[in-house]
Each structure stands twice: as C-alpha cells, then as structure tokens.
Amino acid sequence: MTQTIRVRFPPSPTGHLHIGGVRTALFNWLYARHCGGAFVLRMEDTDRTRSTEESIQVILESLTWLGIDWDEGPYRQTERLEIYQAHAYRLVEAGQAYYCYCSPQELQERREEALRRGESPRYDRRCRDLQHPPADRKPAIRLKAPLEGQTRFVDLIHGELTFENSELDDLIILRSDDTPTYNFAVVVDDVTMQITHVIRGDDHIPNTPRQILIYQALDYPLPEFGHVSMILGSDKGRLSKRHGATSVLAYREMGYLPEALLNYLARLGWAHGDQEIFTKEELIAQFSLAELNKAAAIFNPEKLLWLNAHYLRTLPSERLMHELLPHMIRAGIVKSPDEVDRTYLARAVDSVRERSKTLVEMTQWLRFYFTDHIIYDSQAAAKFFTAESVPLLARLVQDLEGLPIFDEASIERVFQQLLAESGLKLGDIAQPARVALTGGTVSPGIHEVMAILGRERVLSRLRHALEWIASSANRVS
C-alpha cells in the first residue's frame, strides 16, 4: 500500500511571517503537491505571553497572498492541551518519564554551579529515582532519556547523523502548569496528525535526537526528517533586515508580486538544472527533496528585483491589475477598484511594464494617466515651456482636433507632418507635449501616451499648458 505523504508547517504566531519561515512552508507545500499528499497548517501558540491573534491572521494572510493553501488546519496547540497531558501521563505510568519537583530557582543555581566547574549545565537527574517527593510542590514531568548509547537518523538532505545519548538531557515534557514544552508538543502533534515527513530548517537538527527519544518512548514510528539549509545575507551572516529581508507582507507593501517572491524563494536552496524562472505548476511538477542543497543559501535582493521585473513584464493584465490596484488606492490615484475603467488601466499598464521593477514604481509611472491636474516639474517647464514651443503646441492642438481616428498611427502622422513642415527634430515638439501631458520629461512613447489618454484628455492638457505658458510670460513681463 502506497504511503500518503503528509507534511506540516507549524509557525509560532509571535510576529510576522518572515522569509525563512515562508520558504520552509513553500518546500513542504511543494512536496505535498508534487506527491499528491496533504499540507497541514498548525499554530504553535502555547507561548501565551507572545502569541497573538493578530499574528495568526498575518500568517494566514501571508500564505494566502502567496497562494500556499492548506488541506487541514489551522490547528492551534492551545486547543490541544488535554492531548499533550494524556501522552505525558501515559509516559509516567509506563516508567518512561518521571515527576520533577525542582524549582526554577534551584535549577538555575545548579546550572550556574555546573558552568563554574566547567561542566555542561544539564539537569543532574536528582528526581529521576526520587523515593520521597515533597508534598507542597506541583511537579513538572521529565522524559527518562537513555544514559548511554547513540541516537541516529538518516536525514533526507544531510545523510546519517549521530548523537551521543550521554549528551542529551532528561528534558521537561510537561511544565508544572500542565503546558507542554516545544519538543514534546511537536512530537505529539506530528504523531496524532500522522505527519510522514518533517521538513524544516537545519537549526532544528539539535532538537531532532530529543524528539526521536520521545517517539521511541511513546512507541510511535518515526517520520522522515529533512533539514533545509539556512538563508544567509550577502556577508554570510544570519539573514536580517539589513540584508533587505523582512516579513512577507512587507514585500507586498514594497510592490513585489507573489509569483516573483515564490519563484525566488523556491530557488533559495533548490535547483532544477539551470532553470531560473518557474511557473507554480512547473515548481510542483519538478520539485524534489533530492535537489535541495546542504549549503546555506545566500539572499540576493537584486536577483529578487530582477525576477519581479520579469513578472511585471509578463503577467496577464488582469492578474497584474489585481495586485496593482491596492497600491494605486494607497497612493491616492484611484479611490476604489470599482471606479476604474479596466480597459483603460490595462492599456496604461502595458505602456509602463518595461519601465517598472516594482508595483510601487509602476504606480508612480501611472499617476499621470489618472490625474485631472498635472503638476509640472519646474526644471522641465523652464526648459520646454518657452515662447518657441507655443506655436508648436497650438498647431498640435489644431491638428489633433481634426483627426478622424485618434489612434497611435494617426497621432504619429500628425507629428511627422509637423516635423516635415517645421524642419525641427522630434524632441523639439515631443518634449513640450510630454511635459504638458505628464508633467515631466520621461514617459512611454509620446504617441502611445496620447493614444491611451484619448483625445479629450490630450487636448485639455495641451490647452492648459498653453494657458500656463501665457500666464507665466505675463508674470515675468
């Protein structure tokens, strides 16, 4: 009988979902989708002082934005406390765990004393065979770990790993307040949720032998373990904000597309030949744990920006507009998606795709298409709104008014005729017109801009520019 692959992503809801965490989620999700398995989402929210409902919603929003969907969950550890307690008491009854009555202060004093002696500050197991427990203390429960031998497992990425049991502690599995510790809750969750593959960051490798001992004490089969490489900054330091890395939703705010971020994260530590650009369907079809790299991945903001620019150029207009409109609303360019002429916006977007690296940049490029009041750049106006430009702009108004069809080809013929008659270069006419229509000296091609804006907007802006030049001349005189 073929095993159904079941993986999980268990974030701690104590803040935003960051790049390293979402890449782990992505690798799990890709593996589940590739194998036709299940992707389980659960919240490790037992840290009640730091876990918040707001963080849970941010995690869900981040995954949803990226298109990482889940088949089960989100489960919450705080809703499963009785399950952990039952497993812990079962271990005590089976002689695999014991009650520990040591207070936190006593444990701290013994750790400090061990460190002064140059010893490892592990628990000294004094309650392991305690005959007469104190009656006035609520105990914690500790796992009775083996005192000798080795714990081994074959990691799907790193190969066989071995740990000396003498270096492992009798770790607490249930605190005196009846809440589970991290390692115990993880194992019980993974067992009861029938997780077959634990794919997580390699900073969890030290936790794995401890968790294996819990599996063995509970007499449960082990899952497969695969520990993916860390993500480092360009200076080989641990990834942080100084490397340009931050939370997933912050990348959304900065104008990145989920397709670009997903593609980029998949390539951080995974490769499929020399291919750089993948659709989501290609990622699912080609993903393999065997192709994950042991070495740490280096975060490269420039590469991410390059990918984002690629997707801005190639995504279908409807898909791009869905991501773009919230930025336009935030910038005050439009008030709501419902008021936007989608055909007009699509044409405007197509004209600035090649010039934009982020949706924020694209939003700024699009501003002149949607404003009724053009603000002229002072240097541009001083250079191009001259006495010489007045007859050119006036003739342009006259010729554009008489066009039977206001399209790019017809507009281009108007310019060619004007150039032929005046003997001027295109820039002599196009730049004053560009400043009049956009407020600046850089834009998509002037004929394309005019065709998109339409006859009414173009004529209105050219006439306004002529009035502005006249009033400026009067002020000077």
So which residues are the catalytic ones?
241
Q: Which residues contact 8 (CB under 8 A, 6 or more apart)?
A: 28, 39, 40, 41, 42, 189, 190, 193, 195, 198
Beta bridge partners of 225: 155, 198
Distance CA 50, CA 148 (A): 37
What is the residue-wise DSSP string for 70-81?
-SEEEEEGGG-H
Distance CA 230, CA 18 (A): 13
CA 203 and chain centroid, separation:
20
317's tokens? 């207009």
Q: Which amino acid is at 77?
A: Q
CA 363 and chain centroid, separation:
20
What is the residue-wise DSSP string for 105-139?
HHHHHHHHHHHHTT-------TTTT-SS--SS-PP
Task: Rounding to the nearest 10 degrees, give the CA dihedral for residues 340, 341, 347, 350.
Answer: 30
Helix/strand/coil for 333? coil
Rounded to a whole number of angstroms, the CA Rg of the chain reads 32
Contact 449, 374 (CB under 8 A): no
DSSP 8-class letter at 340: S
Distance CA 283, CA 470 (A): 60
CA 124 and chain centroid, separation:
44
Which stretch of DSSP H or E encloses residue 392? helix 389-401
380's tokens? 């541009």
Distance CA 325, CA 405 (A): 30
3-state SS track over 397-457 = HHHHHCCCCCCHHHHHHHHHHHHHHHCCCHHHHHHHHHHHHHCCCCCCCHHHHHHHHCHHH
442's tokens? 């850089």
Angle at the Cα of 84 from the Cα atoms of 81 and 89, rounded to 5 degrees: 125
In this structure, how many other beta carbons lie within 10 angstroms of the beta carbon of residue 417? Answer: 12
236's tokens? 């080989």
446's tokens? 């002037």
